[in-house]
Chains A and B, each alone.
Chain A
Amino acid sequence: GAVVSQHPSWVICKSGTSVKIECRSLDFQATTMFWYRQFPKQSLMLMATSNEGSKATYEQGVEKDKFLINHASLTLSTLTVTSAHPEDSSFYICSAMGQLNTEAFFGQGTRLTVV
């Protein structure tokens, strides 16, 4: 299957700082990327959907000014958590789909801890 790489795998940051997470499709062009958040022992909650070159579509209840998503190329999307707070600590997972795909491929996830 296609490979999606997420970086970093884990990050610890201080409260008030911003953190950027990258999601790359390594062997296909990702026309659509999804960002999910997973709390401990819970399911994945979709945060936003982004199409290359367009503004992301955020799910209800997700602050778009706090979770900045950029999908500037067909192989890279970034999620920036701005002014992070301890309650933003979570596992963030991206997935990507190409134009010819009928399924999404998932990154390995990024564990964010805000202290």
Chain B
Amino acid sequence: GNSVTQMEGPVTLSEEAFLTINCTYTATGYPSLFWYVQYPGEGLQLLLKATKADDKGSNKGFEATYRKETTSFHLEKGSVQVSDSAVYFCALSALSGTYKYIFGTGTRLKVLA
């Protein structure tokens, strides 16, 4: 079945440090891949997405590239800010059937000033 494996947190970084959060997936066919961010006490916000192999999603300085050969969708940011502190979820959605989303366990990021 489909699944998403995400690196465990928490991740603690200093401001302006480089961020990588690993995400790998198992899926039949060609799923869409997503990164969502959740700030304390809030719902999920779409951060970026990619719908096919080699697509790069980007938003607010975050990037992730859909790598079919390694079944990965790692999230990166060159210089994090305190305001980036949140929980990040990697997710996939099958392109057929019910479009169910499968989420990773989430990675908590804390950025220190």
Contacts and interface: CB of A to CB of B under 8 A. Distances in A.
Interface of A: 1, 6, 32, 34, 41-44, 46, 49, 57, 93, 95, 97, 102-109, 111
Given A102-B51, A103-B32, A108 B100 contact: no
Given A49-B100, A103-B32, A42 B44 contact: no
Given A97-B99, A103-B34, A103-B93, A43 B46 contact: no
B34 A44 contact: no
A6 B43 contact: yes
Interface of B: 32, 34, 36, 41-46, 49, 51, 89, 93, 95, 98-101, 103-106, 108
Given A43-B105, A103-B93, A108 B98 contact: no
A32 B44 contact: no
Contacts of A107: 43
Nearest to B99: A97
B15 to A, nearest CB: 24
A46 B100 contact: yes
A103 B44 contact: no
A54 to B, nearest CB: 12
A43 B38 CA distance: 11
Contacts of A102: 32, 51, 95
A68 B43 CA distance: 21
Contact of A32 (B49, B89, B99): B99
A57 to B, nearest CB: 8
B46 A95 contact: no
B49 A103 contact: yes
B106 A106 contact: no
B4 to A, nearest CB: 9
Contacts of B49: 103
B100 A34 contact: yes
Contact of A111 (B32, B41, B89): B41
A6 to B, nearest CB: 7
